[in-house]
Amino acid sequence: MAVPDCLFCKIASKEIPAAIVYEDAKFVVIRDINPAAPVHLLIIPRIHLASLNETSDQDVDILGQIQLLAARMAKQENIAQNGYRLVNNCGPWGGQSIYHLHYHLIGGKQLGWPPE
């Protein structure tokens, strides 16, 4: 169910434009407007879940599909061979700024550790 004031719900329903690189019945993948690397995609489920903390055993399928979709997007964006990072920011101390579950697929350059 979409949340009326949620930015990512509005992007998923195309009320707000975004650079969509992939979409299906369950997900929309967009380019981040403030990329941290040459490739920086956001994998957004169409179903609204505020954060990873809001998931339950009922969400195992969608969480697994995110992982598989990330691997496919990495191949599509030609970053799979050299490597990439898949990140979920959860809560204010984790850096979450939009409270709709999403993952950042980041690559296209050497990434440092710990993250910058």
Q: Which residues are catalytic?
A: 102
Cα gap 21→87, rounded to integer Å: 18
Angle at 62 between CA 22 and CA 108, to 5 degrees: 45
Q: What are phi and psi of 34, to 5 degrees?
A: -130, 70
